[in-house]
């Protein structure tokens, strides 16, 4: 009997040690960093390092992870100018995952989260996740939960959490269950100190907005269309809805080209990269908008064939060059000269994340 108990204890310790080792292996790994690298592409199961030579990206290193879906997918965010962070859309264990890559030390951290990760965002120091019928959650750069706010059941947030030094903003729809005519477009404002709702600001319910950007006290939300409640009369939009976070008032910007879609930040914080929505027969197009001067620079990528559906990632390399990731290709694009400097076929169609070294 004594031997059986000892054997069972030994087996238990062995199993426990194995589980602990698997968990540690699951959560932690390390990226091989290289000072000669200009940018890294993070795929679901590997990381590729590239160096630019005469505007031509050259693959200098590939690091494969221990599973094909190690990183998964999710909207990218940068914390503390050091961490590439995203909420993994794929399932591992029983919950979604929070993924962080430290591009100063090379440390990779993955942690399961029991909270909704469909919507995410950052203020540069904290990482936020949210989802309909769930809570807004705030994490530090080690994914320790700092604060949480239960969202109203009648509020349906749209993708992206916007945050500045004082407040958090969630754009979305508010609707009473079973009453379709009760739908409102609203902006939830949450106080970061108390982590309580500060205000709800309503705006035109006939506007359909897309993922936007918060920059210098202004929230920019592209208006994809204007419509009546029955959706029978839909008008193409040229406008971007703006919200002044100081005065809490709405206004708009009218572009020269129609159908503004998602907005992405560039390295120069007075520039907005605005992708235009279009059909399969039209070329990929975008506008670079200067928020200080109101100047627009419109671009079409007619040379891309077959046409990709949208641009996956945009990063500004320097004053005139952009790195565009789309449909299994990487483009180096001079937006001042409106010229594709180079393009390469990537090893996989889907890129989870992009990191550009300064």
Q: Where are the domains of the chain?
A: 1-27
Average pLDDT over residues 101-124: 91
Residue 178 burial by Cβ neighbours in a 10 Å radius (0-12, 13-18, 19+): exposed
For residue 114, give both structure tokens: 């029991």
Distance, in Å, from the CA atom of 261 to the CA atom of 310, rounded to the nearest integer, reads: 10
Model pLDDT, residue 176: 76
Instruction: Classify strands 56-64 and 76-79 as parallel, antiparallel or unpaired.
Output: unpaired
Model pLDDT, residue 225: 85
Average pLDDT over residues 171-180: 82
Model pLDDT, residue 86: 85
Work out the number of other CB atoms within 10 angstroms of the CB of residue 350. Answer: 12
Query: In the chain, what percentage of residues exceed pLDDT 90?
Result: 69
DSSP 315-338: EE-SSSEEEEEETTEEEEEETTTT
Q: Which residue has the tokens 């920019």?
A: 220
Residue range 69-109, pLDDT digits in tens: 888 888 889 999 999 998 876 544 445 579 999 999 999 99
pTM, entire model: 0.88
Highest mean pLDDT among 53-67, 171-185, 227-241, 270-284: 53-67
pLDDT at 143 over 80: yes
Residue range 200-220, pLDDT digits in tens: 999 999 999 999 999 999 999
Distance, in Å, from the CA atom of 336 to the CA atom of 358, rounded to the nearest integer, reads: 20
DSSP 191-233: ETTTTEEEEEEEE-TTEEE---EEETTEEEEEEEEEE-TTSSS
Q: Which residue has the tokens 């936020």?
A: 128
pLDDT at 179 over 90: no
């Amino acid at each position: 009997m004594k031997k059986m108990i000892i054997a069972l204890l030994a087996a238990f310790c062995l199993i426990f040690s194995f589980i602990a080792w698997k968990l540690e292996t699951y959560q932690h790994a390390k990226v091989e960093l290289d000072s000669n690298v200009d940018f890294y592409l993070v795929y679901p199961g590997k990381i590729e390092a590239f160096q630019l030579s005469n505007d031509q990206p050259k693959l200098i290193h590939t690091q494969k992870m221990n599973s094909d879906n190690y990183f998964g997918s999710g909207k990218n965010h940068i914390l503390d100018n050091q961490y590439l962070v995203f909420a993994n859309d794929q399932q591992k264990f029983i919950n979604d995952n929070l993924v962080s890559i430290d591009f100063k030390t090379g440390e990779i951290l993955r942690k399961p989260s029991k909270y909704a990760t469909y919507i995410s965002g950052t203020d540069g120091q904290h990482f936020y996740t949210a989802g309909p019928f769930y809570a807004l959650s705030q994490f530090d750069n080690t994914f320790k939960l700092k604060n949480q706010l239960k969202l109203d059941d009648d509020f349906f947030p749209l993708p992206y959490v916007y945050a500045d030094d004082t407040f958090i903003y969630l754009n979305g729809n508010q609707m009473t269950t079973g009453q379709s005519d009760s739908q409102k477009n609203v902006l939830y404002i949450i106080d970061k100190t108390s982590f309580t709702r500060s205000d709800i600001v309503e705006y035109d319910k006939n506007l359909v907005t897309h993922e936007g950007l918060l920059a210098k006290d202004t929230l920019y939300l592209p208006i994809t269309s204007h419509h009546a409640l029955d959706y029978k009369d839909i008008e193409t939009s040229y406008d971007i809805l703006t919200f002044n976070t100081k005065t809490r008032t709405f206004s708009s910007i009218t572009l020269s080209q129609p159908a503004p879609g998602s907005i992405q930040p560039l390295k120069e914080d007075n520039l907005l990269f605005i992708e235009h929505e279009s059909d399969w027969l039209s070329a990929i197009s975008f506008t670079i908008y200067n928020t200080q001067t109101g100047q627009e620079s419109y671009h079409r990528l007619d040379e891309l064939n077959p046409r990709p559906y949208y641009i996956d990632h945009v990063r500004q390399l320097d004053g005139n060059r952009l790195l565009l990731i789309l449909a299994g290709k990487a483009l180096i694009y001079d937006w001042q000269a409106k010229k594709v400097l180079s393009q390469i076929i990537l090893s996989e169609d889907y890129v989870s994340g992009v990191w550009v070294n300064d």
